[in-house]
Structure 1
């Protein structure tokens, strides 16, 4: 049987796997679905069209699936979708999507999300990320795999963060943060590449050398973004193992919005 505390309020229409546990005074709404092995702590509110996958650990005092903080929202059945094996610490707020975008706020798998994190409507978070305490994402933000956000990082709406990028504490992002880049400041400026993180994830010396060359082209040679992209495109010939990394960087740079640009 489900380990549901006697004071929890679970709507009869909610779909919870038989292995789900729910703590005291938690409220679960009618359109919520929760997969096997997930635990939900005390004093949580999970509402809206929210789907939560398997083996998640949701600590106490979280609000998941509330309507977006968007004045244009008029009750449309938008969604929050959370994947598997995520840790969500205390006092986080994840809103559903909005009809002005995909209508879905999405969190992938194996993410480590610390206390007081806010995900606004239509955010898309990848896999294996770490969000330190009080990281705040405005609407429509895209976060790639393996991103690390330092505590009190604030991300402007529609900004993208590339895979393996990292922010220092109290960073303020108004522009897109390319893959692999470490940034700091208000507004954030590029400081280096996330070399230590790449080594820990098994990147070969050749791939790391290619990332160093990308950093040089983007930040050390006073090139335009177009010229830097052209130089980066040639790296896959010099470093064949890095071809997927080069392609990811080029794709990210090509999608940079002119009004925002990239962190430089």
Structure 2
């Protein structure tokens, strides 16, 4: 955030039609366009750009270099009947792009009170991040993607337009979710899910290649995928077989750790209706 000296050199530029409540903290070189409303507890990092007709309220922090497009609404009360006005948080990282009509809500007090978004993520028009979600870095939520409360999204996940995620669901890093998919169960790292109900359709190999994974890692993940979802034996037995490998590849170890972790949801699989 800004210092007094920085403010003097690069003051924030606020359009005269906008309201910035007393107490809001604006970093240097912040630009706020016309007809915006910035609440008293909002903190905007250096070089944040807020376009027209944006509402940012509550205890909301937006990291440096992020851009908020018109009609986004960030930090207003969660859509939860149990919310009673508690001082919870919405924390958005640096370099994020938040397009038209996006909504993001702070957390609920009984679940840690924080909704978090990592760095360099992109939220396309009318996507929604509900209370207590935790979204990683370099994530893309396409138009109209809907995250229910308590959803966890790993780094470098890409979600196609109109996809919807059930509350408490986890999506592992480097996963790809197809457009209009209904995600009601956890999706392993590197998984590719499509359909309603959502079904694993393979691995996001292109995403792994773009992230610099070598051929050995990709082949190891492919072998592990075939073993884990071998329909002749239960998934838990298959996981045990993979876990016992003496030369467990780090990418495969991520999948095993993801499945081993406690979760409210079952595990998405290639077979429709099969549960982990």
| TM class by smaller structure | over 0.9
Gaps of at least 5 residues in structure 1 are none
TM-score by length of 1: 0.95
Q: Tell me, what secondary structure is at the counterpart of 1:51? A: strand
Once superposed, what is the RMSD of the aligned Cα atoms? 1.3
1:5 matched residue in structure 2? 15
> How many residue pairs were aligned?
259
Specify which of 48, 58, 74 is matched with residue 68 of structure 2: 58
Match of 1:253 in 2: 259
> Paired residue for 1:131?
141
How far residue 260 of structure 1 moved from its aligned partner, in angstroms, is: 2.6
Give me the whole-angstrom Cα distance separating, in 1, the residues matched to 2:44 and 2:153: 24
| 8 A Cα contact 1:43 1:61, kept in partner | yes
Partner of 1:86: 96
- Find the aligned partners of 2:203 and 2:229 in 1 and give their Cα distance: 10
Following superposition, the deviation at residue 225 of structure 1 comes to 2.0
Q: Does structure 2 conserve the Cα–Cα contact (< 8 Å) formed by 1:61 and 1:90?
A: yes
1:206 aligns with 2:216: yes
Deviation of 1:75 after TM superposition, in Å, equals: 0.9
Determine if the alignment matches structure 1 residue 174 to structure 2 residue 179: no
- The alignment status of 1:48 with 2:50, answered yes or no, reads no
Runs of 5+ consecutive residues of structure 2 not aligned to the other structure? 1-10, 270-276
Give the aligned partner of residue 165 of structure 2.
155
- Per the alignment, do residues 51 and 211 of structure 1 end up closer, same or farther by CA in structure 2, a change over 3 Å counting? same
1:77 aligned to 87, 110, 121, which one? 87
Quote the residue 2:268 is aligned against.
263
CA contact (8 A) 2:230 2:238 kept: no
Partner Cα separation in structure 1 for residue 139 and residue 245 of structure 2 = 27
